[in-house]
Structure 1
Amino acid sequence: MKRIILLVLLTISYSLFAQTGSVSGTITSQGNSVPGVTVGIAALAEYTAADESGNYSIANLPYGNYEITFSFLGYKTEKKRITVNSPQPVVLNITLQEDEMALDEVVITGTMKEVSRSESPIPVEIVTAKLFKKNPTATLFEAVGMVNGVQPQLNCNVCNTGDIHINGMEGPYTLILIDGMPIVSALSTVYGLNGIPNSMVDRIEVVKGPASSLYGSEAMGGTINVITKNPDKAPVFSADSFLTSWGELNVDAAGKFTIGKATSLLGINYFNYNSRIDNNGDNFTDLTLQNRISVFNKWAFEREGNRAASLAARYVYEDRWGGEMQWDKQWRGSDSIYGESIYTSRVELIGLYELPLPEKIYTQFSYNWHDQNSWYGNTPYMATQQVAFVQTYWDKTLGEKHSLLVGASFRYTKYDDNTPATASTDGTANRPAETPLPGLFVQDEWKLNEKHKLLGGYRFDYDENHGGVHSPRVAYKFSPNTNNTVRASFGTGFRVVNLFTEDHAALTGAREVVIAEALKPERSYNGNLNYVLKIPAENYALNLDFTGFYSYFTNKIVGDFDTDPDKIIYDNLRGHAISQGISVNADATFSFPLKIMAGVTWMDVFQMEENETGSLQRIQQLHAPKWSGNFIATYTLPNDYSIDVTGNWFGPMRLPILPNDYRPEYSPWFAIANVQFTKKFSSGIEIYTGMKNIFDFVPKDPIIRPFDPFDKYTDDPVNNPNGYTFDPSYNYASLQGRRVYVGMRYNLF
């Protein structure tokens, strides 16, 4: 009898202990259901995803108190506490708020107006501050490589300077903006992105293809716009610092304060690398030694009627050098020990002011002064460039369907250096290059109905050498529903070439600059077709973005150094260039805490140039791989731990080789992969550690004849039968191998 009673009591106890409940509800945003939202209880490792109607349910929950999390790409994460104490389901309906820091945030670059990314008729790709924290870098030059089809390209294995390629086109064809202002001049493409404190950056917007109808010269291959934070919305204090096993130290900090009706955000970036590492044994530094300080200050002013007004300034100083391991500054400019030493000073000023008028009329201005003091071995290059820019535009809504933009701009560039390029023909006087460039533009965004939108734009610029330049653009967007969007665009781009900043490395004291004819501005004609597909499912949400692009370039200006050894003869290319390809981007959010973003690009970039017989000859573009891609994967663990895997991969790209070069003309397939582990604390502190270039990939034979950098012994038919000369330009990836890093960041709101 006692055994029976005991068995009954055990059965009742087990039944009570095993009692479970459930939670269910509906997830909406602005009155619409949100499918695919990840719903999770981390303490139980229970995850699910909302269905197509935004409904979710988690069953078999043991009695207790739990924190339930709702997260989805494009929305702010919500966390709620629930108590499960009966078999009756807990009903919890959630309203999600759109996340301003998400990939569907407001964008500006495509149309010069604030518009939701999904509503923009121009495709815009974004790198947010949240994204580039997954692979922390010391410069934005590296960070933009997280965008599929954008390639930060190092052009020299000694000084590590480079440019940014979009869809395979060289750096001069990419327009770099900061807060919409073209202050990154041709002389300083890389330096303009170095030293912008990451704590000051809200996001980076990338538009592929010509945008000259809005931005004028240089916007031929694409546009990169660095948007800095609004001081009103920035944290009170933020800091981020990391140290690598190679000895790289990066410190990034920003704080805001208020004086009267003005709010200021002050950011400082300091980067130092002072380790002489030569892992490939060629007696040259594998990575340029650098010491850089950058100070950025942005002010936002509160005005009547909520009118916009802001002012920002930045100062950058950098001392960098690369060369033979035994080099130091006493050898700067000598022909005994080879080094490439660059001192850079840079000042920038940016302003925005909305006029106190009933209409929305804005004035923007910028100014930058860039001084470069460089020695490449025993060859000096001393240059100064100033760029002043001002524009005024009227943002006008006409009825419910038309959004008009009308404006005028003026850019003035002054450039001077120590080469014959800025000297008079007889070399007796200095003649700095001065380039004024006024322009007018108009744009109309026409909402035909809820599904169709049409954008038309036109710009007229006048150059004193080229005359009038016309740049039209048209774009069309069709969205039959929220899950399908088609965009098509056609536009033109142009570039008023400053001859004196294009080939400075080749300019020596013995050459006379000759312009063979009245040079025409370089032109491009571009067509893009973009399709975005959103696939909500029970266990995942998948977004796919397909883009086909085609650009045709004419009048490319090239310098002829071969016809006459005493002259540089500039002329327009007798032929044309083409950049064409397809890119695919995908991002997926799963019911378990995994998010993946990946992209792949196929492109074919080449030029057709007349050869000696007058026939067109196909020449493949340097440093333009036919295949490339990127990937970002994040897995969130319980207790605010996360793992990020990021990287880029590249197919073979054509490289600059010497006559009879023993090195292959095309690079191998390779990938640069990184991994990071992060722990977040409730106090606002994050600690992270990781490894970069985990496969330890570095190029082979990057420098020919590193033992004779001044070419003193090239005339030696026995030891140098092929007549090789010192050449450090055979570059397709960084020489920096695997390294470990550890860092900490903090945000106080």
Structure 2
Amino acid sequence: MNQKVLLLTFTLVFICNLIFAQNGQITGRVTSSSGEALELVNVGISELNLGGITDNQGNFRIEQVPEGTWKVQASFIGFQPKQEVAKVQNGEEIKLNFELSSTDTQMDEVVVTGTMTEISRADSPVPVEVITPELFRKNPTPSLFESVGMVNGVQPQLNCNVCNTGDIHINGMEGPYTMILIDGMPIVSALSSVYGLSGIPNSMVERIEVVKGPASSLYGSEAMGGIINVITKSPVRAPLVSADVFSTTWGEVSADAAIRFNAGEATSLFGVNYFNYENPIDKNGDNFTDMTLQDRISIFNKWNFSRKNNRAFSLAGRYVYEDRWGGEMNWDKHQHRGGDEVYGESIYTKRAEFIGLYQLPVKERIFTQFSYNWHHQDSWYGDTPYMAKQEVAFLQTYWDKKWGENHKFLLGTSFRYTVYDDNTPATATADGEANQPARTPLPGVFVQDEWTMNPKQKLLLGYRYDYDNHHGHVHSPRLAYKASPSENHTLRASFGTGFRVVNIFTEDHAALTGAREVVISEELNPEKSYNGNLNYVWSIPTDDFYLEFDATGFYSYFTNKIIADLDSDPDKIFYNNLRGHAISQGISLNTNLTFNFPLKILAGISYMDVFQKENTGNDGDLEKVRQLHAPKWSGNYTISYGLPQGYSVDFTGKWNGPMRLPILPNDYRPEYSPWHLIANVQLSKKWDNGLELYGGVKNLLNFVPKDPIMRPFDPFDENVDDPINNPNGYTFDPAYNFASMQGIRAFAGIRYNLY
């Protein structure tokens, strides 16, 4: 009887413990080896998908930790990650302190873009550059479009001096060759590529991953030149409240705010970004606005749901509305929009996005990703209308499987469906009498094997197959190899092919300005490319400093390249496939130098040779023509120094060598831009309560281009036939652009983070 009583008592106690057991929490502080508190350090338990981020004092808190023994890791770019073991029981609070050693190699940061699976940068066979908001804060900008210009070899290129729309070039290749992802979803492309990065709140960004070179075997069309993947913050690890507001002496105002909250088993992050500029300025006296006026609001919401066995499930949505215009100083939208009396370019944009990730409730790691975006543009370029709508639905499922100890296997299928409609010949019927929206289904399958040959060598084999109604069967193989003969030396090599479907108007702003007539002289074929790059990383740790060299050589060969001929006729743009080939080749070097005192220097330099060779006559000789807006030399730098009592100073800059520009026949303006540097300085002060004040000066050297608009006094070309006043037959043209028209200006702002 006593044994039965004891057994019953033990059972009741055990059940009560299960019923009334409380989840515990882990708190602590993260500092550097010199004792400095580290802010924005990721501290988490990967097994549970739980974590937090340190505040200004280096403190962190991980809540709702179930009973058990867990490995807690603190990781931060520029520092060696560190792991501690915490035993949680009876709902108690466990305190852990981490002291991180500086390396500044960034090699232990987890990345996903190169292989579509989580992997450390050091182990990735594909070179991936990681940029965090911490870098962007050293030169605050109102949009990610401008921020990515701080990356060596990446150039945000403005294509119009009136409406200031643009695209992003990687290694000298135009915007259509750059795929822009948000959380791995290809929802910023084609029509939206001009505006896709403008409305992403900086407060929502955890990091940006950049892959330069071929990636079509995983991501398909448009990934011929490279990928920019914007990784948004996990609501679980985001600050409770964050805000960032700044303004400039030109009258720009940018406000960024986000809040985190819990709702049952879900955690949500809600963010708003607002940018306003309503101060027409004409410093160069051509009666045109030097900077486009803008009124933009973006709303972002992301949800993470807690599931059994910590399976992934997240949903996110974004809505962007923008009203922008540029033109003559006396232009008024209520009187002159769409008219031919006063010239203006007015663009109304509405955009909605929805993305999601769901891990299937099965033993294997099978994930489904889905997205949908809707984009509407209502625009007038002078008296030329451009009305366009685009819808893109995307569904992708992939199986992430580890075979044995040496093979990491990825098998997936995807389907993208695009509907595009506008008022141009791009969606007209063959006879030009009716409108016929373009509907483009693009199914594909892909497979990848990441083979760890031995601890020092890794080989990645990838293949993708797509089928396009117009272009047929498309094959995209990829090969990547990584060798690490020692912990301080890493060599990576990759080769792949790419393709790009034909889509002119949605990607080339020059076709929309109204300044030129579009001529499609033949049926266009899809582009193909063959790409390769070689990457070498050498790290040099010493007692006094840490130095890292990251060098990359790249080469791309294009066939059937679709070119926009702006040289043959000043009034027209001729589109055709290149009768010859095009080449993009060069080398880039990045250096990171961190001292054991608070000085850090990041610097990069790139050499690019981007050109095309075309058969322009009957003799078979190929003529070499240099790519527009592709400087042979370019570079950037960031110099940061920490001062006592929370002060710091940052010097940033980006420089470009001469680049070829679109000029008119007998143009008096030089065909190549001058060497120029855009330099900035910032002073900031941080307090322990999460408050930060900052201010500085942009474009210290006050560099602005000369004569950016041809014949600004005759934007409707009413007097171009006057042989006396216009003997060269110049026409209105706003495409002569190589730098912003904004001169020197001061800025000031305030940030706040509450954890």
Normalised-by-shorter TM-score class: 0.7 to 0.9
Task: Report the secondary structure of 1:119's partner residue.
Answer: coil
Match of 1:383 among 369, 383, 388: 388
Aligned to 1:410: 415
Q: Does 1:706 align with 2:708?
A: no
| In structure 2, distance between residues paired with 1:512 and 1:207 | 33
Aligned to 2:261: 257
* Structure having the higher Rg: 1
Q: Does 1:138 align with 2:133?
A: no
Go from structure 1 to structure 2 and tell me whether the alpha carbon gap of 1:620 and 1:560 turns closer, same or farther (over 3 Å shift).
Answer: closer
Q: Does 1:673 align with 2:668?
A: no
Q: Does 1:523 align with 2:518?
A: no
Identity over aligned pairs, percent: 70
What is the Cα deviation at residue 653 of structure 1?
Answer: 0.4
What is the Cα deviation at residue 405 of structure 1?
Answer: 0.3
| In structure 2, distance between residues paired with 1:226 and 1:494 | 23
What is the Cα deviation at residue 188 of structure 1?
Answer: 1.4
Task: Report the secondary structure of 1:545's partner residue.
Answer: strand
| In structure 2, distance between residues paired with 1:565 and 1:579 | 26
CA contact (8 A) 1:495 1:522 kept: yes
Q: Which runs of 4+ in 1 moved over 3 A?
A: 37-42, 70-73, 97-104, 502-517, 558-571
Q: 1:516-555 alignment to 2 at 5 Å?
A: 516-517=522-523, 519-555=524-560
CA contact (8 A) 1:185 1:387 kept: no
Match of 1:152 among 142, 149, 156: 156
Q: 1:493-642 alignment to 2 at 5 Å?
A: 493-502=498-507, 506=511, 516-517=522-523, 519-558=524-563, 571-613=576-618, 614-642=620-648
Q: 1:1-20 alignment to 2 at 5 Å?
A: none
CA contact (8 A) 2:478 2:495 kept: yes
Quick one: which amino acid aligns to residue 433 of structure 1? Answer: A
| In structure 2, distance between residues paired with 1:484 and 1:145 | 28
| In structure 2, distance between residues paired with 1:72 and 1:661 | 52
Q: Does 1:327 align with 2:322?
A: no
Aligned to 1:476: 481
Quick one: which amino acid aligns to residue 337 of structure 2? Answer: R
Task: Report the secondary structure of 1:696's partner residue.
Answer: coil
Aligned to 1:187: 191
Structure 2, gaps ≥5 residues long: 1-31, 38-57, 59-73, 83-96
What is the Cα deviation at residue 500 of structure 1?
Answer: 4.4
Aligned to 1:39: 34
Go from structure 1 to structure 2 and tell me whether the alpha carbon gap of 1:562 and 1:620 turns closer, same or farther (over 3 Å shift).
Answer: closer
| In structure 2, distance between residues paired with 1:437 and 1:420 | 22
Q: 1:39-188 alignment to 2 at 5 Å?
A: 39=34, 74-75=78-79, 95-96=99-100, 104-188=108-192
Q: Does 1:686 align with 2:692?
A: yes
Aligned to 2:8: none
Aligned to 2:220: 216
Quick one: which amino acid aligns to residue 131 of structure 2? Answer: V
CA contact (8 A) 1:673 1:692 kept: yes
Q: What do residues 328-385 of structure 1 show as CA deviations (whole Å, max 9, x unaligned)?
A: 1110011111110000000001010000000000000111111000010111100111
Go from structure 1 to structure 2 and tell me whether the alpha carbon gap of 1:170 and 1:510 turns closer, same or farther (over 3 Å shift).
Answer: closer
Quick one: which amino acid aligns to residue 367 of structure 2? Answer: Y
Q: 1:219-238 alignment to 2 at 5 Å?
A: 219-238=223-242
Task: Report the secondary structure of 2:741's partner residue.
Answer: coil
Aligned to 2:307: 303
CA contact (8 A) 2:328 2:342 kept: yes
Task: Report the secondary structure of 1:172's partner residue.
Answer: helix
Go from structure 1 to structure 2 and tell me whether the alpha carbon gap of 1:442 and 1:676 turns closer, same or farther (over 3 Å shift).
Answer: same
Q: 1:334-483 alignment to 2 at 5 Å?
A: 334-483=339-488
What is the Cα deviation at residue 682 of structure 1?
Answer: 0.6
CA contact (8 A) 2:281 2:290 kept: yes
CA contact (8 A) 1:641 1:677 kept: yes
| In structure 2, distance between residues paired with 1:75 and 1:491 | 33
Q: What do residues 608-643 of structure 1 show as CA deviations (whole Å, max 9, x unaligned)?
A: 111123321100000000000010111001111100
Q: What do residues 276-295 of structure 1 show as CA deviations (whole Å, max 9, x unaligned)?
A: 11111111110000000000
Quick one: which amino acid aligns to residue 675 of structure 1? Answer: V
TM-score where L is the length of structure 2: 0.85
| In structure 1, distance between residues paired with 2:515 and 2:157 | 29
| In structure 2, distance between residues paired with 1:77 and 1:565 | 58
Task: Report the secondary structure of 2:193's partner residue.
Answer: helix
| In structure 2, distance between residues paired with 1:354 and 1:747 | 32
Match of 1:316 among 312, 320, 324: 320
Q: What do residues 500-539 of structure 1 show as CA deviations (whole Å, max 9, x unaligned)?
A: 424575478998986745x432111111111101101121
Quick one: which amino acid aligns to residue 552 of structure 1? Answer: Y
| In structure 2, distance between residues paired with 1:509 and 1:698 | 23
Task: Report the secondary structure of 2:196's partner residue.
Answer: helix
CA contact (8 A) 1:72 1:589 kept: no
Task: Report the secondary structure of 1:543's partner residue.
Answer: strand
Quick one: which amino acid aligns to residue 151 of structure 1? Answer: Q
Q: What do residues 529-569 of structure 1 show as CA deviations (whole Å, max 9, x unaligned)?
A: 11101101121110110111111111112467999999998
Aligned to 2:752: 746
| In structure 2, distance between residues paired with 1:744 and 1:566 | 48
CA contact (8 A) 2:315 2:356 kept: yes
Task: Report the secondary structure of 1:448's partner residue.
Answer: strand
| In structure 1, distance between residues paired with 2:237 and 2:507 | 40
Go from structure 1 to structure 2 and tell me whether the alpha carbon gap of 1:209 and 1:41 turns closer, same or farther (over 3 Å shift).
Answer: closer
CA contact (8 A) 1:419 1:509 kept: no
What is the Cα deviation at residue 572 of structure 1?
Answer: 2.5
Q: What do residues 142-164 of structure 1 show as CA deviations (whole Å, max 9, x unaligned)?
A: 11111100000001000000100
| In structure 2, distance between residues paired with 1:710 and 1:447 | 63
Q: Does 1:293 align with 2:297?
A: yes
CA contact (8 A) 1:673 1:695 kept: yes
Alpha carbon RMSD of aligned pairs, Å?
A: 2.6
Go from structure 1 to structure 2 and tell me whether the alpha carbon gap of 1:628 and 1:504 turns closer, same or farther (over 3 Å shift).
Answer: closer
Task: Report the secondary structure of 1:189's partner residue.
Answer: helix
Q: Bigger CA drift: 342-351 or 499-508?
A: 499-508
Quick one: which amino acid aligns to residue 203 of structure 2? Answer: S
